[in-house]
Amino acid sequence: MSSYVKFFGTAGGRFSVFNQIRASGGIWVCIEDTNILVDPGPGSLLKLIEYGRSARELDAVFLSHRHLDHSADINSIIESMTSGGRNYHGAVLAPSDAWDSDPVILGYNRANYKNIRTYEGGWWQIGNIKISTPLKLVHTVENFAVCFQGKRHSIGYISDTLYFEPLKTVFANIDLLIINTVFIHSRGGIYHLSVDDIMPIISSVRPKRTVITHFSTEVLKAQPDKIASKLSENGDYVVAAYDGMELDLDEI
Ligand SMILES: [Zn+2]
């Protein structure tokens, strides 16, 4: 059974995403042959096709939160996952404000897949993956940290949030931590993590490997690879994602 993660995009922040300095097609999580697409931002469907993949392979789409850089292509992906609404197929997990208030998920196709509203403390079994949302993040819209747990592999993902102490204990014994690293230094009042913020999270969660992603132009200028090497200096294994990067979970 195959288990891997593939990055269809690594852009974060308005300029980087909406000028497509890096792509923003989301993260494909495959654990023990169950497939979930996470945060299909602008260009996601095209990226899947470019890499020879099909949304019909998906068992679910997981949306961390409804900001456009994470959700812009969600309807195209749903349409493709359900064969244009002809086949009932898959599930979509998203916070309730993505469904109900100023929804980013269109209503007309909702009968063609399982609708799941995520909440703090929730969990759902999708194929071989247990998806849980243990912590509500501090962002301008509803947003949850998520854990994808198979029999042999586990992945934690922290998207956009202000730094706060519970992030240090949100996951235990995970193989891979994916963490959105938008800035170099914390900026007051901006609800995104910086390199400074993620250091204490990584050294407390201690995953086998950490991938930083969702880069603004500021981080790209500073070279994500160099940042990852610096973060690896005290024994943690941190890598910087690039568009198209695939990690085999059996090799972690
Ligand atoms: Zn956001």
Task: Identify the pLDDT of residue 38.
Answer: 98
Distance from residue 181's CA to the centre of ligand 1 (Å): 12
- Cα 169 from chain centroid (whole Å): 19
Distance from residue 159's CA to the centre of ligand 1 (Å): 8
In this predicted model, what pLDDT tens digit does every residue of 8-50 receive, in sequence order? 999 998 899 999 999 999 999 999 999 999 999 999 999 999 9
The C-alpha atoms of residue 60 and residue 93 are separated, in whole angstroms, by 7
Q: Domains of the chain (ranges plus CATH)?
A: 4-251 (3.60.15.10)
Closest CA to 114 of 96, 89, 78, 133: 89
Distance from residue 158's CA to the centre of ligand 1 (Å): 11
Distance from residue 251's CA to the centre of ligand 1 (Å): 31
Q: Which residues, by Cβ under 5 Å, contact ligand 1, an ion? A: 67, 160
Distance from residue 104's CA to the centre of ligand 1 (Å): 13
Distance from residue 121's CA to the centre of ligand 1 (Å): 20
Distance from residue 67's CA to the centre of ligand 1 (Å): 5
Please compute Rg for the chain using Cα positions: 17
Task: Identify the pLDDT of residue 180.
Answer: 98
Distance from residue 229's CA to the centre of ligand 1 (Å): 26
Distance from residue 30's CA to the centre of ligand 1 (Å): 24
Task: Identify the pLDDT of residue 135.
Answer: 98
Task: Identify the pLDDT of residue 235.
Answer: 85
Task: Identify the pLDDT of residue 200.
Answer: 95
In this predicted model, what pLDDT tens digit does every residue of 127-141 receive, in sequence order? 999 999 999 999 999
The C-alpha atoms of residue 153 and residue 130 are separated, in whole angstroms, by 11
* Residue linked to tokens 């024994």: 235
The SS3 assignment for 82 reads coil
Which parts of the chain register pLDDT below 70? Answer: none
Distance from residue 65's CA to the centre of ligand 1 (Å): 7
pTM for this entry: 0.97
Distance from residue 64's CA to the centre of ligand 1 (Å): 9
Distance from residue 151's CA to the centre of ligand 1 (Å): 30
The C-alpha atoms of residue 62 and residue 38 are separated, in whole angstroms, by 5
The C-alpha atoms of residue 30 and residue 58 are separated, in whole angstroms, by 9
Task: Identify the pLDDT of residue 198.
Answer: 95
Tokens at 176, concatenated: 């891979």
Distance from residue 125's CA to the centre of ligand 1 (Å): 26
